[in-house]
Structure 1
């Protein structure tokens, strides 16, 4: 995997997070509208309850958007240069899966290949940090073999 391939992984990873952020932003706008009540109208208890719930969702959506912004910043800060040791910016292959180290991201696809992101705060990262291709590690009672570090 050359530098251009790793750049395409970064681009796809970033786009995946941003797509999720746009969906959340759309939910937030819907919730804001649902939370607004006409002060001159009369409402049932259910109307008031639904308005309160929608207002609570606006706050939750804002927290999700802040977390997604932090994830994009973490991706942008990663060094996606060639790696031989598991660390931030490395792409690690084990157990038939590929992982990008440095940001927790759900499964995404780049150039027809699936990846997931692993945060450096994740317990599995502690088990693989500093390892090389060919090394083995144990996690939750299972032994894995690192097939590649890029």
Structure 2
């Protein structure tokens, strides 16, 4: 997932015109023979013009990974990719898809509510390999990562 973050950093800050991927999701991340992640499917990506921080466009991204302001208003910005990246991280750590939830509950909300009291309830048990004091240290690290991940998924005001 660090490779994906580096790719986003390059797209957003390293290109002469910032590129917004607009459809960041697990199926658009490919692994090479060395297990290095690469972003793919730039079919709906957008270029930001000089002095542009966002733009309006037709909404065609994947439900569950799409930032709410993009889904509601068609407003895309670098923040939309960060939101999608956060959802991908949540999916990676919980082994739950963002569209598995019903009603008003979302993957982000489920993790937010559970994280404060019961990290073990949301984290995929296959990721935790230790026991005793070492397990608690792993849980503390995972909880810290999950808090940053939740921050990636903050909704921008419409």
**Shared fold (TM-score greater than 0.5)?**
no
Could you say which structure has the higher strand fraction? 1
TM-score by length of 2: 0.27
TM-score by length of 1: 0.28
